[in-house]
């Protein structure tokens, strides 16, 4: 099959990693893969992408015209300008896949291939009110076939859009990178406890709640070394009430560095208000690091008191209690460690490619 993906940017994020891994595994099966994106080849330094990449960047003349248009009329014709640009560079294909709400318009209007949208979040939930949010919401009503990455997202689309999804394709992790590297100390009582978390300051990621939970645990007498990771983080963007809570931001961690980071921690916490199959908790599980996470979007792999401790979002006291329980119970800690490793092993890129390939083949057969 000739399979094209439309991706606004290829810098490393959780979403681009998922799409890139699926592309590579489909390419290994002999499919002709292509990508239409904005940006430049340097954005792909983090992966050897097995696809022909079309860069739909505007020329200098187009950029000047766009600037003059904004000056004259006070707004940019967005996303129409980007949509036309993506369609212009889009190759002929059998399957055409949008990967973010904006790219859905280009896939739908291009007339090339069977139109799909691989949804990785219900994006209107994480946008402020306004013009852009309306454009995002409308994209979910386009006649593209919806593939989702989590059961939570399938439910959101059913309830909010009134549509059943075409298929469910879970993301995965690279088990050659994320695996148990060392045994955890036999006891956590009476010593410094290292807790880690992703630091991505978007309001729905819940980092302020994670910081509040850490402070509650410290106030109970526990010595906590809280370390966060991510690409870019501005401490001044935090609400003033949590800005002085002590933590260390270690910067970006990728692949082996990230796996080592997880392995050296006693636990990972995730305080997001809602996610759609977030990778950090699953990556930590694979490394043998127990997880405390919020519930929405992790239901496909995080099961309370079996392989993780699952709490309600926006309740730092509840998260703090879970952390304290995990510190104090060796049997629970070892259970979550062992069951987390087992759970993570079941999510492979081969399975993700199998499912995606199956969905695409059925769509082509139906359209024949």
- 177 within a domain of the structure (yes/no): no
- Indicate the pTM of the whole model: 0.92
The domain in which residue 340 lies consists of: 193-345
User: Which residue positions in the chain have pLDDT lower than 70?
Assistant: 58-60, 62-63, 65-67, 69-78, 185-190, 201
Task: Output the average pLDDT for the chain.
Answer: 93
State residue 236's pLDDT score: 86
User: Is 316 found in the same domain as 203?
Assistant: yes
User: Is 12 found in the same domain as 158?
Assistant: yes
Beta strands (DSSP E) in the chain are: 2-7, 32-37, 52-55, 95-98, 114-119, 145-148, 167-168, 193-198, 224-229, 248-249, 267-270, 291-294, 309-311
Residues 90-107: tens digit of each pLDDT? 999 999 999 999 999 999
CATH number at residue 288: 3.40.50.2000
Q: In what order do the strands lie in the sheet with 193-198?
A: 248-249, 224-229, 193-198, 267-270, 291-294, 309-311
Q: What is the DSSP code (8-state) at residue 255?
A: T
User: Is 278 found in the same domain as 218?
Assistant: yes
User: Is 113 found in the same domain as 19?
Assistant: yes
State residue 197's pLDDT score: 98
Rounded to 5 degrees, φ, ψ at 196 are: -125, 160
**For the chain, percent of residues with pLDDT exceeding 90:** 81
Residues 155-164: tens digit of each pLDDT? 999 999 999 9
């Amino acid at each position: 099959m000739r399979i094209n993906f439309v991706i606004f940017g290829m810098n490393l994020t959780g979403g681009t990693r998922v799409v890139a891994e699926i592309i590579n595994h489909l390419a290994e099966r002999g499919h002709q893969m292509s990508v239409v994106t904005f940006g430049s080849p340097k954005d792909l330094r983090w992966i050897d992408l097995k696809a022909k990449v079309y860069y739909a960047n505007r020329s200098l003349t187009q950029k000047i015209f766009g600037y003059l248009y904004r000056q004259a009329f006070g707004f940019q014709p967005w996303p129409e300008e980007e949509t036309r640009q993506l369609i212009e560079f889009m190759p002929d294909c059998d399957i055409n896949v949008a990967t973010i709400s904006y790219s859905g318009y280009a896939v739908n209007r291009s007339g090339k291939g069977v139109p799909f949208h691989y949804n990785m979040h219900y994006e209107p939930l994480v946008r402020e009110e306004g013009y852009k949010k309306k454009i995002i919401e409308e994209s979910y009503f386009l006649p593209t076939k919806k593939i989702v990455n989590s059961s939570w997202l399938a439910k959101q689309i059913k309830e909010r859009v009134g549509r059943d999804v075409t298929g469910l394709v879970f993301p995965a992790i690279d088990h050659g990178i994320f695996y148990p590297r060392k045994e955890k100390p036999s006891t956590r009582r009476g010593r410094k406890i290292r807790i880690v978390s992703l630091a991505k300051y978007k309001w729905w990621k819940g980092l302020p709640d994670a910081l509040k939970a850490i402070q509650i645990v410290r106030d109970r007498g526990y010595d906590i070394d809280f370390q966060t990771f991510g690409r870019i983080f501005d401490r001044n963007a935090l609400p003033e009430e949590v800005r002085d809570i002590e933590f260390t931001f270690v910067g970006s961690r990728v692949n082996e560095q990230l796996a080592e980071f997880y392995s050296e921690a006693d636990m990972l916490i995730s305080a997001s208000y809602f996610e759609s199959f977030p990778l950090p908790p699953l990556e930590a599980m694979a490394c043998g690091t127990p997880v405390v996470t919020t519930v929405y979007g992790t239901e496909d792999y995080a099961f309370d008191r079996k392989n993780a401790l699952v709490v309600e979002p926006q309740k730092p006291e509840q998260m703090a209690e879970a952390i304290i329980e995990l510190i104090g119970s060796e049997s629970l800690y070892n259970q979550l460690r062992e069951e987390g490793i087992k759970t993570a092993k079941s999510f492979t890129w081969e399975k993700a490619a199998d499912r995606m390939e199956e969905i695409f083949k059925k769509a082509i057969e139906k359209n024949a």
